[in-house]
Amino acid sequence: MKIKIWYIGIVTCMMFMTTACNDWLETTSETQVEASDLLNSEDGFKDAIIGVYINMGSEDAYGKNYTWFANDLAGSPYKIQGTLAEYEVWQKHRYSTVRGYATFKKMWARSYNVIANVNEILTYLEKNGSKLDSRVYNLMKGEMLGIRAFVHFDLLRMFGLPDWVANADKYTVPYVTAFTKEQTPQRTYKATAELLFEDIKNALACLEKDPARKEVSESDYEDINLDGFWDDRGKRMNYYAVEALAARVCMWEGSDERLEEALGYAQDVIDHSFAEWIDLEAFLATSVNDYRDWTFSTEHLFSLEVMGLTDLTQGYLLVTSTDYQGIKLSEDAVLEVLFKLYEGSEILPSANDVRYNTLLVPVDGGAAYNCRKLYQSDNYNRNYRNRIPMMKISEMYYIAAEYYINKGLNDKALSMLDIVREHRGVIETYDPLTADAREELTLEYIREFMSEGQTFYYWKRTGIACPVTEFEVSPEDLIYLYPQEEVSEGGRHQDL
């Protein structure tokens, strides 16, 4: 079979500060490059790896639908603007519509296209690995194994069931580990989870000496990093990003053994990773939007640079008060639920919360709020432009808090939430005698992950009802339907 790698869009290689991008970047999205030619040298592998990240950033995947649009609309209590069809599919969970199926088809196809590219790289790493320095080989392999696990996990979360233990013998989405013309069979949740954990385990082993780890000296990599390809490891899949992914997966799997592992992974990221809390004083002191780090990029464990994010978000996230299509939170959702008043008081307990007083902007004459987390402009600081967070340090505190909730340690769970809130500007700490950690964690997920699509997964995994009463959602509402062609032509079946 003739092997091809598909590339999405014309993007500069400045994203990763590498100069070895000519073959990959000189043409358009219809370009096809023979893998046997491209993946025959270190520069070729670098080009292909950059292509994987660009592919992940497409609007069918993390550049739009997996983050701030489809998943966020399906899982967050935004206002529905009239009867706009593209909103209704997600907010009212009308997945069987023509629009729903068409979107699922593209989302599914894009993910498996990313996975196919990753598998090609891994295949040729094994074939041509002897041509690479062992450090380069391990970093590349670990990075790609981490991406393969990351994308498969999100497919499992979107198109699969939430309780893997209870549904262990049911069949789920294909976990593809090789590039082949043969159709990959569906496996049970149990068997699929084993493949997922195996990829994570192997990725961590390969990335043991990742420059992202503080105990690794930069001088150890100087001779293989002359072109700067291994700079900015925090923006790509790195050792701590894989640990954060492992914490996510273990929490989702939910068995007692995996919950213990989830805490271990999360705590290691908290204790040792490169992530640093945003300097709120500096953030708030800057009044010019173009100079503000709106996504808090210093807190990212892994992020994507999405070319053309300004065009994708225009009219949806970067809105004016008259934008009909804008994705907005109602005034009631903001002031009565997310940032509600203390009982008998006229003071917002979270008035100092930067997620309220800065990231949310009143629109429609104060009747709604728009989140500007993914703020973009032509003049936006290049260090922050086009950036979408994939995983953040705050989530590790939430995972630790949820572990303590499950252990009945309400006060310890609240203390983990207080750490995040402190770095969001909240002065008050929770009173463990009156605050319920589970309720507060639920609110924190909504506050923290607006425009990121993660709340979608929280509802599905926990089965907790959204506290905004007019936004009804159940775990069943968050199971995306397989594309029709996968069922009618591919012979797939979706166990529900």
At which residue do the structure tokens 């609309």 appear?
73
Q: Looking at this protein, which amino acid is placed at residue 3?
A: I
Show the low-confidence residues of the chain (pLDDT under 50): 1-32
| Residues 6 or more apart whose Cβ sits within 8 Å of residue 432 | 410, 411, 414
Question: Domain residues of the chain, as ranges?
Answer: 4-311+377-480
Beta bridge pairs of residue 19: none
Please report the pLDDT score of residue 348 as a whole number.
Answer: 58
Topology annotation, domain 4-311+377-480: 1.25.40
Please report the pLDDT score of residue 62 as a whole number.
Answer: 98
pLDDT tens-digit map of 308-321: 999 999 888 877 66
Question: 3-state DSSP helix/strand/coil percent for the chain, to nearest 5?
Answer: 50, 5, 45
Please report the pLDDT score of residue 152 as a whole number.
Answer: 98
Please report the pLDDT score of residue 86 as a whole number.
Answer: 79
Question: Which token pair is 63?
Answer: 């550049």
Q: Looking at this protein, which amino acid is placed at residue 482?
A: Y
User: What spatial distance separates the first Cα and last Cα of the chain, rounded to whole Å?
Assistant: 35
Of 197, 204, 214, 275, nearest to 238 (Cα)? 204
| Residues 6 or more apart whose Cβ sits within 8 Å of residue 173 | 152, 155, 156, 159, 160, 186, 192
Please report the pLDDT score of residue 259 as a whole number.
Answer: 97
Please report the pLDDT score of residue 407 as a whole number.
Answer: 97
DSSP string, 227-284: TSTTS-GGGSS-HHHHHHHHHHHHHHH--HHHHHHHHHHHHHHHHH-S-----HHHHH
Of 309, 313, 448, nearest to 385 (Cα)? 309
Residues of 27-58 as b/e, b for ≥16 C-beta within 10 angstroms? Answer: eeeebebebeebbeebbbbbbbbbbbbbbbbb
Question: Which token pair is 166?
Answer: 């209870």
Q: How far apart are CA 14 and CA 17, in angstroms?
A: 4
What global pTM score does this model have?
0.92
Q: Quick count: other Cβ atoms within 10 Å of Cβ 79?
A: 21
User: Coil, strand or helix: which one is 39?
Assistant: coil
Q: How far apart are CA 432 and CA 78, in angstroms?
A: 30
Please report the pLDDT score of residue 72 as a whole number.
Answer: 96
Q: Looking at this protein, which amino acid is placed at residue 59?
A: E
